[in-house]
Amino acid sequence: EADIYQTPRYLVIGTGKKITLECSQTMGHDKMYWYQQDPGMELHLIHYSYGVNSTEKGDLSSESTVSRIRTEHFPLTLESARPSHTSQYLCASSEYKGQGAGETQYFGPGTRLLVL
Amino acid sequence: AQSVTQLGSHVSVSEGALVLLRCNYSSSVPPYLFWYVQYPNQGLQLLLKYTSAATLVKGINGFEAEFKKSETSFHLTKPSAHMSDAAEYFCAVSVYSGGGADGLTFGKGTHLIIQP
């Protein structure tokens, strides 16, 4: 059973507001990820982290930012939300066990964001 | 760069019939391949993964997939569909560089419909 949590599960907010989506995992995984998923579409990697103080941008350009101050916590922030940010955001974590081990990413339940 | 193509955005089968969900990948290096399932309003759950140990991979809930390098395919099958199998299925690929995988590349997903 994966222990990765996301809050809030649903968020409706007005344009221009600053928001932070929370993601926490209790598995001690070094690596964490944020994916964006539009309805009926595939997931796109927007941010990832190899560990504390490590953050990288993913394949899909995003106006969001992330931080990794603690191993278990990987929050995503939008400084000024816009309707184009309406989407589902999924957080995941994994543990590097060496090449050939095939890392398994464990996903949280997601946050559905609606920006009006 | 790697990519994944899932043939058929929607697949409909009768309860008790064979389930076949198709996935083809593109990768310049040996890939690691995954199938995830997503139920409504939930995150992704790992069904199975290929890590080069065996070409036929068995997963949870009676699913299995076969890696065929010559066909660059990783199709998902289940001998007998159950109503509870209705969900969105995602095929994904990852490759390793340096300290591990840099995230998953997903297909667009296949919505599996089970007819009673």
- CB-based contact B49 A102, cutoff 8 Å: yes
Q: For position B83, what pLDDT does the model report?
A: 96
pLDDT, mean of residues A10-39: 94
Pairing of strands A10-13, A111-115: parallel
Given a cut of 60, is residue B100 above it in pLDDT?
Answer: no
Q: Does B101 touch chain A (CB under 8 A)?
A: yes
Residues in chain A: 116
pLDDT value at B98 more than 90? no
- Per-residue pLDDT reduced to its tens digit, B10-64: 999 999 999 999 999 998 777 889 999 999 888 899 999 998 778 899 999 999 9
CA angle, A46 as apex, B52 and A74 as ends, to 5°?
95
Decide if B100 touches A, using CB distance below 8 A.
Answer: yes
Residues 6+ apart with CB under 8 A from B2: B25, B26, B27, B28, B31, B93, B94, B95, B105
Please tell me if residue A63 touches chain B, with a CB cutoff of 8 Å: no
Please state the rounded mean pLDDT for residues A1-13.
90
- pLDDT of B11 reads 97
- Whether A105 has its CB under 8 Å from any CB of chain B: the answer is yes
Structure-block tokens of residue A39: 């309805």
B99 and A59 in contact by Cβ < 8 A? no
The pLDDT of residue A65: 94
Q: Predicted confidence band at A92 (pLDDT cuts at 50, 70, 90)? A: very high
Per-residue pLDDT at A50 exceeds 70: yes
Mean pLDDT value of segment A58-84: 92
What average pLDDT does the segment B80-96 reach? 92
pLDDT score at B97:
58
Pick B43's closest partner by Cβ from A44, A102, A109.
A109
d(CA A6, CA A97) in angstroms, rounded, equals 25
Q: For residue B75, is pLDDT > 80? A: yes
User: Which residue does chain A place closest to B89, by CA atoms?
Assistant: A42
Predicted pLDDT at B52: 77
**Cis omega (within 30 of 0) for bond into A109:** no
Mean pLDDT of B85-106: 79
Residue A98's pLDDT is what?
Answer: 66
Query: Mean pLDDT for chain B?
Result: 90
* Cβ–Cβ contact A56 with B under 8 A: yes
Q: What is the pLDDT of residue A49?
A: 92
Cross-chain residue pair B46–A41, CB shorter than 8 Å: no
Cα dist from A111 to A10, A57, A77, B55, B87, whole Å: 6, 19, 13, 35, 19
Mean pLDDT across B66-95: 94
Distance CA B80, CA B37 (A): 17
Interface of B with A in 52-71 (CB under 8 A): 52
Q: Which residue in A45, A56, A109 is closest to B42 by CB distance?
A: A109
Percent over 90 (pLDDT), chain A: 71
Answer yes or no: is pLDDT of B99 > 70.
no
| DSSP-derived pairing of the beta strands B44-50 and B32-38 | antiparallel
> Sign of torsion, CA A102 B58 B22 A110?
negative
Beta strands in chain A (DSSP E): 4-7, 10-13, 19-25, 31-37, 43-49, 56-57, 65-66, 76-78, 87-94, 106-107, 111-115
- Average pLDDT on B74-96 reads 93
Using an 8 Å CB-CB cutoff, list chain B residues near A96: 99-101
